[in-house]
Amino acid sequence: MTEHHKPRITWGSQTGFIFAAIGSAIGLGNIWRFSYMAYENGGGAFLIPYLIALLTAGIPLMILEFGLGHKKHGASSLALAKIGRGFEWLGWWMPVFASLGIMLFYSVVIGWCVNYFFFSFNLAWGTDTQTFFTKDFLNLSGGVFQITGIPIKLLFSLGLVWLITWFICFREVNKGIEKACLIFMPLLFVLTLILIAWGITLPGAMKGIAWYLKPDFSKIMNWKVWMAAYGQIFFTLTLGFGVMIAYASYLPKRTDIVKNAIITSLVNCLYSFLAGFAVFSVLGYMATKSGLPIDQVVKAGPTLAFVVYPKAISLLPFFREAFGMIFFAALVIAGISSAISLIESFSRAITDKFAWNRQLIVTVLCFFGFFGSLIFASGAGLYWLDIVDHYINQYGLILAGILECLVVGWFLKAKVLRNHINAVSDWNLNRFWDFTIRILTPGILLVILISNLINEFQQPYGGYNVNALILLGGGVLLTTLLIGWGLSLPKWDKKKLEYNHFAEEDKLLV
């Protein structure tokens, strides 16, 4: 049996695969991003466009990526190369900007969470949590290009994050990632439920939850709210990274792709919704304790997790340290479960084409990834993180999603993939799925992309200097694109492109 005909590792169980997929989807943004977006975009009314976005874009794209990885039996690079060699660069670009773009700064944010877990032991952030985060902890510099030293505590926590990621990814997927997620996901759900149960017992908690869910139906008449809903669905489900394609390539022949995609998508979105109760119950208590309205204490993004929430924790009547430890432990687990998927998508793509040793590839990726992430841990790191995150999420992922839909919908043909999915699934798709992949979803994503570009020209993102935005944001997109294109140039072993794993499997069973 030749190398490319060797039996491929598969998930040990359907539960292991689903937990890994959910672990990839659930990340730091589920805890601090969704609840704030709902609050800003109509509260409970935001759930209407969010649910529609889930049904018309999130689940159809999740089914596409699961189905593509399963049918082509490879990571995004191999899967798209099998459709046509001219599309291979896209299959490389997605995991490249996931691993060399997102993972480099994402690991730093997880490192912050690790540090804050230990800071919770004695509430080291004190009363002025803003100054502690930006000055005492990050040693934030005065501008994008004022790069100063790396705080020693962050250096060690960052190294720990990469070490854990390496340790999990070093082993085969069914022994490393699967086992880790079978532990991480139940633990994350338990910790989150503890935070919710604890939070809603606090005085003023219901005031915060009311602000979180208070429906403002007038806001959902604004098209920008719908764009926000579709954007959030796309980002939260880890679509366009190449991760779900790689994960699905380890599935056995008979597997219910449709059901798995629906479960993964629903659980991820339900978790985001429930995490909002943990966040806003505590913010409601904070507002009551300080005598301020909710809109003066709630903030978006990292500021919510590392400035506002620690301040709220310090105001708790009892067991403040334990509450802080549970909250930041949940963030660490959510972050690590996503981080391992970002490394896996790239390492799987490399081993598919070059057949190099998996352990060596993972080691090299994590080694150089650690050093590449140091710039985001420097005094200017928060600025770099903000810019790179904005450009990859607002432009890289959306463009990749549009192209992915067009390639599968029009060149592979959506009907061909739908027939494959229906052949191995108990839950079947109809022609509406073809329509969403060929027209509806790419059309919506294109509108979001154009809208983002218009906003960018009208007002540069975050008030940053235009040169900084072009150099860092545009530079990362262009660099990862060139790397992806370069990796697509070496020729494949022709047998790999022609090899049908399931046909060979059927022969062995005869």
CB 236 within 8 Å of CB 29: yes
What percent of the chain shows pLDDT beyond 70? Answer: 96
Structure confidence at residue 263 as a pLDDT band (50, 70, 90):
very high
CB 20 within 8 Å of CB 396: no
What percent of the chain shows pLDDT beyond 90? Answer: 61
Structure confidence at residue 4 as a pLDDT band (50, 70, 90):
very low
Is 305 inside any structural domain? yes
CB 253 within 8 Å of CB 502: yes
Is 154 inside any structural domain? yes
Encode pLDDT of 106-139 as tens digits: 999 999 999 999 999 999 999 899 999 999 999 9
Is 24 inside any structural domain? yes
What pLDDT shows up at residue 82? 94
Is 3 inside any structural domain? no
Is 484 inside any structural domain? yes
pTM: 0.92
Per the structure, the complete domain to which residue 250 belongs is given by 14-509
Number of domains in the chain: 1
Q: Cα-Cα-Cα-Cα dihedral of 79, 84, 88, 90, to 10°?
A: -90
| Collapsed DSSP state (helix, strand, coil) of residue 299 | coil
Is 25 inside any structural domain? yes
Structure confidence at residue 243 as a pLDDT band (50, 70, 90):
very high
Encode pLDDT of 446-481 as tens digits: 998 998 888 888 888 888 888 899 999 999 999 999
Angle at 178 between CA 335 and CA 259, to 5 degrees: 95
Residue 400's Cβ-side half-sphere holds a number of Cα atoms within 13 Å equal to 34
Encode pLDDT of 153-196 as tens digits: 999 999 999 999 999 999 888 788 999 999 999 999 999 999 99
Q: What is the mean pLDDT of residues 20-35?
A: 88
Is 2 inside any structural domain? no
Buried b (16+ CB within 10 A) or exposed e, 15-30: ebbbbbbbbbbbbbbb
Nearest-angstrom CA–CA distance, 338 and 366: 15
How many angstroms separate the most distant Cα atoms in the chain?
74
CATH code for position 168: 1.20.1740.10
What pLDDT shows up at residue 20? 93
Q: What is the mean pLDDT of residues 270-286?
A: 91
What pLDDT shows up at residue 6? 54
CB 260 within 8 Å of CB 17: yes
Taking Cα atoms as reference points, which of 192, 172, 225, 194 lies closest to residue 26? Answer: 192
What pLDDT shows up at residue 485? 96
What pLDDT shows up at residue 509? 37
CB 476 within 8 Å of CB 392: yes
CB 188 within 8 Å of CB 334: yes
Nearest-angstrom CA–CA distance, 437 and 72: 18
In the numeric block, the tokens 């679509």 are attached to: 239
CB 90 within 8 Å of CB 482: no
Nearest-angstrom CA–CA distance, 298 and 22: 27
Nearest-angstrom CA–CA distance, 287 and 342: 37
More confident residue, 6 or 256: 256
Residue 469's Cβ-side half-sphere holds a number of Cα atoms within 13 Å equal to 15
Is 1 inside any structural domain? no
Q: What is the mean pLDDT of residues 36-61?
A: 89
